[in-house]
Chain A
Amino acid sequence: MNPRAAVLRRARPLLGTLVEVGVFAPGLDTQAAVDAAFAVVAEAQACLSRFDANSDIARFNALRRGERLTVRPITRQVLAAAHELRAATAAAFDISLGSAPDGWALRGAELDKLSDDACLDLGGIGKGHAVDLAVQTLMAHGVAAGWVNAGGDLRTFGNVDTPVQLRDESTGGARAFATLRNGAFATSHFGPESRSQLTTRTSSPPRAHASVAAPLCLWADALTKVVALSGDTSHPLLARYGAAAWLH
């Protein structure tokens, strides 16, 4: 498909950032597909945002030790991934951001609170999963090729090579980095003033951008943390999820 062909491109403020949906060669039904994609992102936000008092995550954070709640399917999917990564990284991957890495447990759709201190934040992988859900929605609506980009967590689908540029956190400029087809890409910047904070037992987290390409955006986002924590762009977990990584 010619990447210079017509593109329908929309953006809305969601997930605390700008979420962009792009569709190549749009047709009459494309706007409805794009609306549906934004709707599923809004639904993910309603489940996962710790700033929304009715979200599963805010409700969990307000629980006491020994209490539990039943979470919605989107929350369950993200927590299952977080559980898998926690186990694979000896709890270095920590959605409690240091408050209580083992303070939560997922059993089916039941989320148990095991520590009063446990406060969860799914800002990163939640965004990645929302992108995956939006891509699924576009495809289910018959869209052949396009992308979803949630403030830098992006996924492309269809037979188009999409250029990916990297934003430089310090200067605000962007530079060409790669072309991506049928895959996801995420970048996190780690530094004292960044929104992405690593909770690590090492004294000083690295000041760097970590980028990961993977088939799914959830894993791309999550693995940026693993790469930044380990400083290892050939970390064994990357192969498990079909991912590649760069520190820059």
Chain B
Amino acid sequence: MHLKLAASAIAAAVAPTSAFAVDYLSADQAAKLMFPDADTFETRSLTLDAAQMQQLDTQGVRARSANWTVRVAKRAGAALGFVVTDDVVGKVELISYAVGIALDGTVKQVEILSYRESHGAEIRLPAWRKQFVGKGASSALRIGDDISNISGATLSCTHVTDGVRRIVAVVALARRGGALT
């Protein structure tokens, strides 16, 4: 083991803090990773109506949004599964992630697409969040040092696990309604 303290580590309390951001995958890359056998991904836009939103509510799932985009993975015209991407905001972090859902409705895979950490309150500002819309692994955005590792109090991924549950419910509902055939 070899550890070398940074110059600023000594002056810990006064060292400036920086924001931190990592791009892992674009939505397209994640879809291909989850369904490598697919030859096409058809994009469908879902709009849940009031009754569907309420139906989710009764399942204990807050739909949060009426509008969802689902990628249907297909091979030779037959569906292999579905991929949905979403963002969740925590105390200081904005996490984009993708959920792959198999034909039996179970979660096949969850991949984090990007992770962005702010100095704090700005995470709630739409302007701060908007600057990242549409950014993926192929874009040039790099805030933190590319390979830095962060250590600190453990970040909770409750928002992501809640989000995965929501996406599973939304896809199941859409399929029952015949929207994803």
Chain A 152-190 near chain B by CB (<8 Å), digits 1 or 0: 111010000111111111011111111111111111110
Whether B119 lies near A173 (C-beta < 8 A) is yes
User: With A and B bound together, what is the CA distance between A186 and B97 in angstroms?
Assistant: 25
On whether the beta carbons of B17 and A11 are closer than 8 Å, the reply is no
Interface residues of A (CB under 8 A from B): 3-4, 7, 9-13, 16-18, 20, 22, 31, 127, 147, 149, 151-154, 156, 161-169, 171-189, 194-196, 209, 211, 213-215, 242, 244, 248
CB atoms of B1 and A176 under 8 A apart: no
Alpha-carbon gap, A154 to B3, bound state (A):
13
7 examples of A-B residue contacts, CB within 8 angstroms? A153-B154, A167-B155, A168-B17, A182-B1, A189-B153, A211-B151, A244-B3
Given contacts A175-B12, A181-B1, A214-B1, contact A194 B144 (CB under 8 A): no
The CA-CA distance from A121 to B25 in the complex, in Å, is 33
Asked if A152 meets B147 with Cβ closer than 8 Å, knowing A18-B95, A195-B156, the reply is no
Query: In the bound complex, how far is the Cα of B154 from the Cα of A194, in angstroms?
Result: 9
A7-B147, A18-B112 as given contacts; A195 in contact with B153, CB under 8 Å: yes
Asked if residues A164 and B151 are in contact (CB atoms below 8 Å), the reply is yes
Q: Which label, helix, strand, loop or mixed, suits the secondary structure of the A interface?
A: strand
**Is the CB–CB distance between B91 and A172 below 8 Å?**
yes
Q: Is B174 an interface residue (CB 8 A)?
A: no
How many residues of chain B get a CB closer than 8 Å to chain A's CBs?
A: 52
Contact residue among B18, B111, B117, B144 (Cβ-Cβ distance under 8 Å from A12): B111
| Interchain CB contact (< 8 A) of A242 among B1, B6, B8, B9 | B1
Which among B2, B111, B145, B154 is the interface contact of A181 at CB below 8 angstroms? B2
Interface digits, B32-68 against A, CB 8 Å rule (1 contact, 0 not)?
0100000000000000000000000000000000000
- CB-nearest residue of chain A relative to B17? A173
Contact of A182 among B2, B18, B157, B164 (CB under 8 A): B2
Q: Is the CB of A10 within 8 A of B25?
A: yes
Report Cα–Cα, A20/B150, bound state, in Å: 10
